Amino acid sequence: MPYFKYKGITNQGRVTDGAVEADNIEAAKKTIQKNGLRIQFINEEKQNILKKEINIAFLNKVSKKEIVIFLRQLAVMFEASLPIVQSFKIIAKQTENPKFKRIINEIANKIEGGAKMSYVMSKYPEVFSDYYVNMVKSGETSGNLDEVLVYLADQEEKSYDVMSKVKGALTYPIVVFIAMIAVFIIMMVYIVPKMLGAVTEMGGELPLPTKIIIGTSNFLKDNIILLIVFLIILTIGIILLLGTKKGKKLFHLAQIKLPMIGKFFQKIYLTRFTKSFSTLLRNGVPIIQSLRVAGDIIGNEVYKEVIEETISRAEDGDPISAVFSEHEDIIPVMVTQMILVGEKTGKLDYVLEKISGFYERESSNIVDSVVELITPLIIILLGIVVAIIVSAVILPMYNMANQF
C-alpha cells in the first residue's frame, strides 16, 4: 500500500506535516481531512525498496519489551510536561523498529489533527491491547493522563520483569535437555558402537546395562532417519494443533493441571488477571468492561472461559465470587474469599491489588527456587547417563578379567 506525504493546517492554525497509508490519493485526502486538517500539499512518497518495511509478521512484530520502553519514555515526558505530540515524535526518532516508528509517527500526526490518544491507539490493536486503550481513555476522562501513564509503565515493567524471569528459568533447562538428548544420540550412533565393538568380540554373557546400551545404539543407527522424520512431523502437528482454539485450550489446561508446575502457572495467570482487573477498576473503567479486557489479556483459554461465564452472570446480577467459587480446581479458595470481601466492602480494586502482589511474590520465589535447583539436578542427570554408559563398557571387561 502506498504512502502519501502531506502538509496541512490544524483547526488551531498550526502547520503540520506527516504521511498516511492509503489505497490512493483520494482515500489519503479523506483520512487527513477526518483528522481535522486542511490540506495544503499531498504527494505519493516514492520509497526506496531497501527502506521499506519487511512485511514478514515475525520479523516485523513489535515486541513486549519495545512497548514497555515506549510506555516508560512517554510517562517520563508527560511528567516533564512536554506536549503530547512532541513526546511522540521524540520517541519515534529513538525507535529502531521501522513498523513501530511509523505507528508512533502516525499517532502523533492524528493527535495533532485533533484526535484523542486513546482513539488513535485503538486503531493499532496488534500493538496496543484493549487494556492500554482503556487505561489511556480513563486518564483522558479523569484529567490525570500523566499519572495513569506512570502507573501503567510501572505495572508493565513489573509484569515484563516477572515474565522475563520465568522465561529465563525455563529456557536454560530446556536448552540443556535438548543438547543432552542430541549428545546422547550422537554417542549412541557413532561413539558407543566403536567402544563396544571390542567388548562384544570377547564373547561371553553380556551384563544387562551393556545389552540395553547395545540395543538402544542399534535401534538409533537403524532408524535415525525415521526418527528425525517422526520428530519433524510431530513438531509440525503440535504447532498446527496449538493454532486451533481447541488445541490451545488443551495446552493451557495441561499447563495449569500438571503436577508440580500446574500451581506455578496458575499463580502466573491469576497475577496477570488480578493486576489488570485491579488497574482498570482503579481508573474508573466499569466492572463488566474491566472483566472483558482482563479476560482478553490473561493469555489462557481455560481462565478466559471462566471470565466469560463471570461476565454473563455478572450482567444478570450474580457476584464475581459466586462464579469463581464454582471453579476451585483452578481458582484457589483464598482468591474467591478475598474477592467476596472486596465486593462486600466496595474495595474490590484494593483487594485485587493485594492478591496480585501476593501471587507476584509467590511466583518470583518459585522461579528463584527452580533456578537454584536446576544446576544440581542437571549435573545429577548427566552423571546418571554417563554412569550407565561407562558401566556398559567396563562391566563386560571386568567379568572377562575375573574369568582368568
Tell me the domain boundaries of the chain. 1-52
Per the prediction, the chain carries an average pLDDT of 81
- Which pLDDT band holds residue 48 (cuts at 50, 70, 90)? very low
Q: In a 10 Å sphere around its CB, with 0-12 CB exposed, 13-18 middle and 19+ buried, how is residue 391 labelled?
A: middle
pLDDT given for residue 334 in this prediction: 92
- The strand pairing partners of 335, in sequence order, are none
- Which pLDDT band holds residue 39 (cuts at 50, 70, 90)? confident
SS3 at position 280: helix
The single-letter code of the amino acid at 330 is: I
- What is the phi/psi pair of residue 323, to 5°? -70, -45
pLDDT given for residue 49 in this prediction: 39
pLDDT given for residue 384 in this prediction: 82
Tens of pLDDT along 161-188?
877 877 777 777 778 778 878 877 787 7
- C-alpha 255/C-alpha 266 separation (Å) is 8
Q: Is 290's pLDDT higher than 60?
A: yes
The single-letter code of the amino acid at 35 is: N
Q: Is 81's pLDDT higher than 60?
A: yes
- C-alpha 162/C-alpha 210 separation (Å) is 46
In 3D, which of 336, 297, 288 has the Cα closest to residue 155? Answer: 297
Query: So what's the architecture of 1-52 in CATH?
Result: Roll (3.10)
